[in-house]
Structure 1
Amino acid sequence: MPIVPRPDPDFGLADIPPNPPVHYAEQALLGALLLDPHRIKTIGPLDPDRFASANHRALFAAMATLTAPAPDLHAREPVWIAAVLAHARPHARGLTPSYLHALAGACPDPAHAPAYARMVRSDHARRTVLMHAGLLVQAANDPGLPDPTAVTLRRADALTALLDHLAATFPSHPGSLPRTPPPAPPNHQEGTEAAGEEQLLLSTAAAYPAALASMRWLRPEDFTTVLYGGLYRCLTSLAGRGEPVDKVTVLWEAQQQGLLTAAFGSQEALELLATPAGTPEHWGEQILRRSLLHRAHLTGLHVQAFTQDLTNSPHQVITGSRRALAHLAGVRARWQQATGRTPAGRPPTPPVPASRAGPSPQRTSLPPASSRSPR
């Protein structure tokens, strides 16, 4: 018998997602202003673009533009509803007189218009922060940008400026920290390029340890591979104590810090440290750039989590987002220290031959998964 494909189920009313609470707040506010147009003077500063619905934006723009009728005329004739509809319809073709009457019926009490307006402003602030957080995540993960680092930092600056503006608008209150669970860290795939750059830094810094004194901007947590971050800590510990630094002393320090395992023993450590190329500063900058973009990605995810949690007030979103951006600011300060360290007139870093752009073939495999994890 031929197999008859089962038809897809029809799209029903139950499949339509419910309207968010702000939809009803917008309806109540517009209904209040249709019933009592003079209450627009009591709701505080509010722009049409604060409304989530295009129809509601058009209606409020009409109300803010038109002159309200005299109270006695408004009580006798529906001139206000007719004027608002005529002014808004060219910008929202779907508007009908019946919808405006439905808005008037959706308002529990016109005297509560200021409260409805605060709800509209709060939800617009949440949506705007969510949009900026999305742009930050996008920039941090777009390798096609001419300068991903610069674009990412500009997006972070725009988000910071928005939060500063909102902080002056929404008052603080007790319990200001959001209780939103932190999102899962992004699935960071190190790849051979990142691992190769980290291996080259370790071998080059072991050969030229004098550079470590000026590389305090790089930290072990910047490495994508935990093992390599631990080996870098061995290098900086030896240099900080003023002890000799070479591949043998680093191997001994790695043993003292418990980094040697059956999968990564003495021979593997010596091979990793045996082929320097370029300069430590060059490889350190590559590692720190990747760490900065990773932190920006994680920051954007945190801010998105705060804004998507509708139980958070605007002040909680602002406070939590600022705290997340503070972690990014720490990595950014180290990045600025690293990229601004070169004095004027210093020759650029010599190019690394293509054959030395990554680890040697016998070292291209990464350590076991037990020694590697995302930052």
Structure 2
Amino acid sequence: MSHSPDPDEDDLGTTPAPHPLFHAEQALLGALLFDPRLRGDVPGISADSFSTAAHAALFTAISTLPPPDPAEHAKSAAWLHQVLTAGQEQARGLSASYLHTLIQVCPWPRHAPAYARMVEAQHARRRLRAAADRLVQTVHDASLPEPVQAVLAEADALTGTVDDIAARFPPRAGVLPRTPVPPPGTVPDRTEAAEEERLLLATATARPADIESVRWLLAEDFTQPLHAGLWQCLTALARRHEPVDPVTVLWEAQQRGLLHDGSEPSGVLRLLAEPAGSVGHWGQRALTRSLLATADQAGRRIQAYSDDPMNTPFQLVAGARRALADIGAIRTRWQHATGHSLPQPARAARAGPAARRAPAVSPPARPVAAGRTP
């Protein structure tokens, strides 16, 4: 997530933010200021990894300035002054006292790889949330001329983000998020959806031979439970090569218990008696609506996973891939229905279970804060 900081912004504050990430960022920056040689031990970190513009500016300065001679750094603050000057070009709120505070609050500089892993994990969470936000926003963008293509493009981008995170945090078996799944969103055009589903059911009843041509349409694609049940009745009758008309469909519905919810038989007969258009046309409309709803639900699931601080990056990857698989399944059906072949996103190479982990280090004797003068 890129930063566009206000040069006059002071996002340091006198009281650290309540999120543990703030302390991890401070510890990491303090370690790098105390011993710039540790920069090579945190390869997965960039300025974008930090949550504040000031911390990002400091890391940029640390990364771009030539590292000082260790012996000289131990007795001179010259390099710290260079870092401060460079950092203030992006965040004027930085001060020399804050740099010294960062050094003092770092518990163990040699634990920099562990601090970096924490910062990187939270950055992955933010990236995943932002990609899921874009997917959900695209689903609800009524101005798009080709909504399905736009939504699938965002789904591909989200998949790429997940794969990139997985390369650093490979998912582990049995670590799906325990975050409650949000309920399905409401259909924005519920009245239109219900009317089109009624036309689909009536047209399929009048032309049962066309049902075979829309095998890609499933009951789960309907917005109304009664409509979904009636579609199952129609497909069952057609599959058994039995007569199909409003009365036979009504009888099948009664056998399946669809009228137990209070639906009137006469109402069902009226619903099935007014065909219009073609089964394929209404079927594609229903499937398109279902694809957008599936993408919306997948995006909101990933948003919920990202917002839950108890989920590790490993769980986020596993949960996001499970949600994206639902989009992949209906994407395949939509391609069969429309004849559109959209390119699948390239899968990033997955790291092995033990790849790219922060190296283990043995803690040295704890440095005395008062004596930690660079």
TM-score, reference length from structure 1? 0.83
User: What's the offset of the Cα at 1:304?
Assistant: 0.9
Q: Identify the residue that residue 169 of structure 2 maps to in structure 1.
A: 170
Query: Is the 2:171–2:317 Cα contact (8 Å) retained in structure 1?
Result: no
* In 1: Cα distance, 2:182 partner to 2:160 partner: 24
Query: Is the 2:32–2:38 Cα contact (8 Å) retained in structure 1?
Result: yes
* In 2: Cα distance, 1:87 partner to 1:328 partner: 46
* In 2: Cα distance, 1:60 partner to 1:174 partner: 35
Q: Identify the residue that residue 84 of structure 1 maps to in structure 2.
A: 83
In structure 1, what residue type is equivalent to 2:147? P
Query: Is the 1:190–1:225 Cα contact (8 Å) retained in structure 2?
Result: no
Q: Identify the residue that residue 291 of structure 2 maps to in structure 1.
A: 292
Q: Identify the residue that residue 35 of structure 2 maps to in structure 1.
A: 36
Q: How does 1:64-75 map to 2 (within 5 A)?
A: 64-75=63-74
User: What's the offset of the Cα at 1:98?
Assistant: 1.1
In structure 2, the CA distance between the partners of 1:302 and 1:341, relative to structure 1 (3 Å rule), is closer
In structure 2, the CA distance between the partners of 1:77 and 1:126, relative to structure 1 (3 Å rule), is same
User: What's the offset of the Cα at 1:144?
Assistant: 2.1
Q: Identify the residue that residue 9 of structure 1 maps to in structure 2.
A: none
Q: Identify the residue that residue 282 of structure 1 maps to in structure 2.
A: 281
Q: Identify the residue that residue 112 of structure 1 maps to in structure 2.
A: 111
Q: Identify the residue that residue 305 of structure 1 maps to in structure 2.
A: 304
Q: How does 1:137-286 map to 2 (within 5 A)?
A: 137-173=136-172, 175-188=174-187, 191-260=190-259, 263-286=262-285
Q: Identify the residue that residue 47 of structure 1 maps to in structure 2.
A: 46
In structure 2, the CA distance between the partners of 1:39 and 1:262, relative to structure 1 (3 Å rule), is closer
In structure 2, what residue type is equivalent to 1:120? V
User: What's the offset of the Cα at 1:174?
Assistant: 5.7
User: What's the offset of the Cα at 1:264?
Assistant: 2.7
Q: What's the CA shift string for 1:28-86, capped at 9, x where partnerless?
A: 11111111111111222321111111111111111111111111211111011101011
In structure 2, what residue type is equivalent to 1:198? E
Query: Is the 1:29–1:107 Cα contact (8 Å) retained in structure 2?
Result: yes
Query: Is the 1:302–1:324 Cα contact (8 Å) retained in structure 2?
Result: yes
In structure 2, the CA distance between the partners of 1:176 and 1:266, relative to structure 1 (3 Å rule), is closer
Q: Specify the SS of the correspondent of 1:91.
A: coil
In structure 1, what residue type is equivalent to 2:107? P
In structure 2, what residue type is equivalent to 1:156? A
Query: Is the 2:179–2:305 Cα contact (8 Å) retained in structure 1?
Result: yes
Q: How does 1:323-338 map to 2 (within 5 A)?
A: 323-338=322-337
In structure 2, what residue type is equivalent to 1:154? A
Q: What's the CA shift string for 1:296-347, capped at 9, x where partnerless?
A: 11111111111111111111100011011111211111111111189xxxxx
More relative contact order in 1 or in 2 (CA 8 Å, sep 6+)? 2
User: What's the offset of the Cα at 1:173?
Assistant: 4.2
Q: Which runs of 5+ in 2 are unaligned?
A: 1-14, 342-374
Query: Is the 1:190–1:224 Cα contact (8 Å) retained in structure 2?
Result: no
Question: Structure 1 residue 135 and structure 2 residue 134: aligned?
Answer: yes
* In 1: Cα distance, 2:39 partner to 2:163 partner: 27
Q: What's the CA shift string for 1:228-266, capped at 9, x where partnerless?
A: 111111110000001121222212212222223585323
User: What's the offset of the Cα at 1:276?
Assistant: 0.9
In structure 1, what residue type is equivalent to 2:292? L
Q: Which runs of 5+ in 1 are unaligned?
A: 1-15, 343-375
In structure 2, the CA distance between the partners of 1:309 and 1:341, relative to structure 1 (3 Å rule), is closer
In structure 1, what residue type is equivalent to 2:297? L
* In 1: Cα distance, 2:166 partner to 2:102 partner: 32
* In 1: Cα distance, 2:314 partner to 2:208 partner: 48
In structure 2, the CA distance between the partners of 1:306 and 1:221, relative to structure 1 (3 Å rule), is same
TM-score, reference length from structure 2? 0.84
Query: Is the 2:16–2:22 Cα contact (8 Å) retained in structure 1?
Result: no
Query: Is the 2:16–2:23 Cα contact (8 Å) retained in structure 1?
Result: no
* In 2: Cα distance, 1:203 partner to 1:324 partner: 33
In structure 2, the CA distance between the partners of 1:173 and 1:332, relative to structure 1 (3 Å rule), is closer
* In 1: Cα distance, 2:164 partner to 2:261 partner: 55
